[in-house]
Amino acid sequence: MYKFIDGGVTAPQGFTAQGICAGVKPGNKTKRDLALIYCDTLCNAAAVFTKNLVKSDTIAVTKAHLKDGKAQAVIVNSGNANTCNADGYEKAEKMCEIASDVLGVNKDDVIVASTGVIGEILPIEPIIKGAEKMRGTLSKDGGTNAAEAIMTTDTVKKEMAMTMTLGGKKVTIGGIAKGSGMIHINMGTMLSFVTTDAAVSADMLESALREAVEDSYNMVSVDGDTSTNDTLAIMASGKAGNPEITEKNDDYYTFVEGLTEAFKALAKKLAKDGEGASKLLIAKVQGAKTKTDAVKVSKSVICSSLLKAAMFGADANWGRVLCAIGYSGADVDVKKVDVSFKSEKGVIDVCKNGAGIPFSEEKAKEILLEDEIEILITLGDGDKKAEAYGCDLTYDYVKINGDYRT
C-alpha cells in the first residue's frame, strides 16, 4: 500500500526548501539554525500543537494563519524558543513577514515555529539577514539542510519520504522532525513539518492529521516533559492529481493509514535520538480490554525511569514493567500479564501470569545489549493493542540538561 523512499520534506511535487546558519544563538558560527519550506502553489494545510498551557507565541500566530486552512510556506529557527517573551508575538509575526518578502507569498499563508532555550529574547536581525541569504536558493536538494537547521540537541537529522496510491495516482508524503529532549508529546521542543502532493480538502486534511497523530507522535516519550513549542504542521499541494478527498471514503482511510505510518517512522527516530540515549525502546501491548487501556499501559511502561535505567544497564528487571502497568490507571488483571524482551538477538519470556519464571540472565543480557528493544506485554483481558516509543535513561541525559542554558 505504501513504500518508503529516499528523501524528506521536498519529495512531494511542488515543494522546495533550504536551511542555513544564521547565527540565531549567540556564538553559533557553523550550525544551520534557520529553515524555509516553500510550495509553488497555495496548499490546504492543518496543524496540531502542544497542550502545555505555556506556549510559544509562534503557535498563536500559526493558529491564526491556519484559520482558513491554507498555507504556502514555513519559516522556523532553532537556538531560541521565542517562549515567555513580552515581544514574542511581534517577533513571530515579523518572521512571517520576512518569509513573505523572500518567497513572495502572503504573510498570512506562512507557518512559523521556533525551538531552543525558553525565556530568552529572540534576536530578529540574524533571521532577517539569514532569510535574505536564502533568497533564490530553495531547491529539491535543500530539504536535508532544512532538517538539520531545526535540530537543537538532536544528534541526527530526522527526515522521511514515502509513496502510496490514491485514486490510481502516485501520491508522495515527505517530512522532517526534530526532538531529543523535553519530549512527551501531547498534541492536541517537538517540531515536525510534513508535505504531500495529495489532493485533500482542508477539513479532511485536519481530520486525517488528528487521527494519524494518535498512534504515532502521541505515543512518544523521552523524558516525560511536554514541550512548550510542539508543532506538527502539514501542507498538501494537490499536485498528484488524485480525485480530491472531500469525505471519509476509502481513499481517506488509505491516506490516514499511510500518514500514520509516515508519522511512526519519524516518531521512532525521535525516540531513538532521545538526549543521551543509547537504545530505542518499543513497548508493544496486546490483549487489552480497550484501546485506552492499551495506550495507558504502553505509555506508562515507556515512561518509567526505573525501567529506562534498567534497559540502559541491559538488566532484565521485568518487575519494573509490572510496576509501571500497576500504576498506569488501566483496567488490568495483573495476574494475567505476560512479559517478554525482544531484539535482533532473539526473544526471551520473563513473566507469565503476573509472576516470574526461570530464564537465562546471560541470554537476556545478550538481547538487551542491542540498540533496539521491544518490550512485549500481553494483558489477557481483550483484543485491543497499542505501542509506544521511548529510549533508555543514561548518564548523558543529566550531563546534557545540567547546563543546557548556560
Exposure of 37 in the CB half-sphere (CA atoms within 13 A) = 38
Separation CA 234–CA 45 (nearest Å): 6
Q: Is 116 left (phi over 0), alpha (psi -120 to 50) or beta?
A: left
| Distance of alpha carbon 128 from alpha carbon 95, whole angstroms | 8
Kindly list the structural domains of the chain, giving each domain's residue range(s) and its CATH number in brackets, ordered by start: 2-272 (3.60.70.12), 280-402 (3.10.20.340)
**Cα–Cα distance between 37 and 137 in angstroms, integer?**
11
In angstroms, rounded to a whole number, what is the distance separating the alpha carbons of residues 273 and 146?
A: 18
366-370 long-range contacts (CB < 8 A, ≥24 apart) are 367/316, 367/341, 367/342, 367/343, 368/311, 368/314, 368/315, 368/316, 368/341, 368/343, 369/314, 369/345, 370/279, 370/343, 370/344, 370/345
pLDDT tens digit sequence for 354-398: 999 999 999 999 999 999 999 999 999 999 999 999 988 888 777
**Residue-wise over 280-302: b if at least 16 C-beta within 10 A, else e?**
bbbbbbbbbbeeebbbbbbbbbb
Summarize pLDDT for 16-42 with one digit per residue, the tens: 999 999 999 988 999 999 999 999 999
Task: Tell me the average pLDDT across 327-348.
Answer: 97
Residue 221 has a pLDDT of 76
Picking from 13-17, 33-37, 109-113, 115-119, which range would have the lowest pLDDT averaged per residue? 115-119
CA distances from 16 to 36, 95, 202, 229 (A): 8, 19, 21, 24
- pLDDT class for 146, splitting at 50, 70, 90? very high
Per-residue pLDDT, averaged over 326-333, amounts to 96
% of the chain surpassing 90 pLDDT: 80
Which residue in 239, 237, 309 sits closest to 37, CA to CA? 237
**Cβ partners under 8 Å of residue 261, min gap 6:** 2, 162
Judged against a pLDDT cut of 80, whether residue 102 lies above it is answered with yes
Residue 188 pLDDT level (bands cut at 50, 70, 90): very low
pLDDT tier for residue 51 given thresholds of 50, 70 and 90: confident
Q: What confidence tier does 406 reach under pLDDT thresholds 50, 70, 90?
A: low
Q: What is the pLDDT of residue 229?
A: 76
- The grid cell for 247 is 469525505
Q: How confident is the model at residue 11 (pLDDT cuts 50, 70, 90)?
A: very high
Cβ atoms of 321 and 297 within 8 Å: the answer is no
pLDDT for residue 289: 97
Q: In this predicted structure, what is the pLDDT of residue 220? A: 85
3-state secondary structure of 302: helix
**184-188, 201-205, 377-381: least confidently modelled range:** 184-188
309 vs 321: CA distance, rounded Å: 12
pTM: 0.88
Q: What is the pLDDT of residue 227?
A: 66
The mean pLDDT of 347-354, rounded to a whole number, is 98
pLDDT of residue 187: 44
Sheet holding 338-343, edge to edge: 355-356, 346-352, 338-343, 372-378, 280-288, 384-391
Rounded Cα gap, residues 328 and 373, in angstroms:
21
325, amino acid identity: I
Residue 74 carries which side chain, given as an amino acid letter?
A: V
* Three-state SS letters, 172-210: EEEEEEECCCCCECCECCCEEEEEECCCECHHHHHHHHH
- Concatenated DSSP letters for 46-97? EEEEB--SS-BHHHHHHHHHTTTSEEEEEEEEESB--BS-TTHHHHHHHHHH
Q: Which residues are catalytic?
A: 189
Q: How much is the pLDDT for 184?
A: 54
pLDDT in tens, 74-97: 999 999 999 999 999 999 999 999
| Closest C-alpha among 8, 233, 222 to residue 113 | 233
pLDDT tens per residue across span 219-249: 887 655 566 778 899 999 999 999 999 999 9
Given a cut of 90, is residue 324 above it in pLDDT?
A: yes
The mean predicted confidence, pLDDT, of the chain is: 92
